[in-house]
Amino acid sequence: MMKILITGGAGCLGSNIIEHYIPKGYKICVIDNFATGKKELVSGLDNLTLYEGSIFNKDLVEDVFKEFKPNYVIHSAASYKDPENFIEDINTNIQGTVNVANAVKKVSSVEKFINFQTALCYGIPKKIPIPIDHSLNPITSYGITKTSGEQFLMMMDFPVISLRLANICGPRLSIGPIPTFYKRLKEGKDCFCSDSYRDFLDMSDFLSLIDHIINNKQSVKGIFNVSTGEGHSIKEIFDIVANYLKLNLEKEPPILPVGGDDIKTVVLDPKTTEELFSWRAKVDFKDIIINQLNWYDEYGVSDIFSHLKNS
C-alpha cells in the first residue's frame, strides 16, 4: 500500500487530496495544527493517521516521518490567516518547511516531494501571463515566507516539485472573492470588487495534475506554474454569483483599486507544466465558478480567510 504524508491535510487542498486518494487504496498521514483546517475532515477515516501539531515542532515532524515512512510527501501546510503575524508565518512557512525537508532526508522511503507555493511569489509581474522564469519579488509576509521556504526546498538533494498555484476552486474553499460574494449577497449585504484579475482552476483539474505527477516515472525536480493561463476580473465573478442567485441588483458594485498589499493582475503561464506532465486544464472559467456555487448551495460557507490586510 502506497503512503502519502500531507502537511496541512485538513485544509481545502489537503482534504480534497485525501478524498481523492483514500478510495484509490492509498494510506494517508496528516500533520495539522488546525489553524485554518477543520479537524472533523480528517478524523475517523479508514487508512488515515492524524497527528495534531505544528510543523514548526521539529521533533514531532521527525517522529512522524520515522514512524509512517511515506512514499510521497505533499507539503500543503501554510500560515496565512493573519497578514501581520510575521512570526507565525516565519515559523510555519520557513522553519516548518525546513523541518519537513530535513525529516525527508532522514528516511529512505520518499520518492517524490510536492510543495504548494503561492503565485504571490512573483510580486507585481512585469509580464502577463507570468512565465516560470519570472523574477521573484513578493510583497507580503505570506508571499515572502512561502518564497523563502520554496528556495530552501530547491537546495535539497532530493526531488522536489514545487507548484505555484492559481486560485483553486472546489469543496471547502474558504478564501477569495467567490465565498465572500456568495455569503454577502445571500445575506443581502453590499459588495465591492477590487480592480484586479486572477486565474482560476477547478479542483478536478488540480487533482488530475497531482495524479500525473505521482504516476510520472521520471525523477523530476523543478518549479511549475499551475493554471489555465486565462485571467478574469473580480467583477466577472461578482456577475456570475449575482446571476446564479437570481438577484436583480439596483446598482453595480463599486470597483476599487487594489490595496497596497495586493497585486492588480496575477495570471500564470502553465506552458512548461502542460508540456512536461502531459496535462492541461479542462474546466472553463464559468463552470469553475458554477461548480463552486453549487457546492456552497449544498454545504454552505463557514470561515472566510484572507492573506490581505484590507479585505
| pLDDT at residue 1 in the model | 86
Position 309 scores a pLDDT of: 55
Taking only the tens place, the pLDDT of each residue in 92-119 is 999 999 999 999 999 999 999 999 999 9
Q: What is the pLDDT of residues 58-104, one digit of tens each?
A: 999 999 999 999 999 999 999 988 888 999 999 999 999 999 999 99
Cα–Cα distance measured from residue 187 to residue 209, given in angstroms and rounded to the nearest whole number:
36
- pLDDT value of residue 306: 53
Q: Which residues have a Cβ under 8 Å from the Cβ of 170 and sit 6 or more positions away?
A: 12, 16, 202, 203, 204, 206, 291, 292, 295
pTM beyond 0.85, yes or no: yes
How large is the average pLDDT for residues 286-310? 83
Three-state DSSP class for residue 128: coil
Please tell me the distance from the alpha carbon of residue 285 to that of residue 279, in angstroms, as a whole number: 17
Query: Where along the chain do its domains lie?
Result: 3-170+201-227+269-282
Q: What is the pLDDT of residue 261?
A: 85
Strand pairing category for 193-194 and 255-256: parallel
Where residue 211 falls (left for φ over 0; alpha for ψ -120 to 50; beta otherwise) is: alpha
Query: Over the stretch 155-186, which tens digit does the pLDDT of each residue have?
Result: 999 999 999 999 999 999 989 999 999 999 99
The whole-chain average pLDDT of the chain stands at: 95
pLDDT exceeds cutoff 50 at 27: yes
CA–CA dist 95, 269 (Å, integer): 29
Confidence of residue 305 (pLDDT cuts 50, 70, 90): low
Q: Would you give the DSSP letter of residue 289?
A: H
CATH topology of domain 3-170+201-227+269-282: Rossmann fold (3.40.50)
pLDDT of 311 reads 47
Give me the pLDDT at residue 304, please.
Answer: 64
Average pLDDT over residues 134-156: 97
pLDDT > 90? residue 308: no
DSSP annotation of 215: H
Nearest to 305 by CA among 142, 108, 156: 142
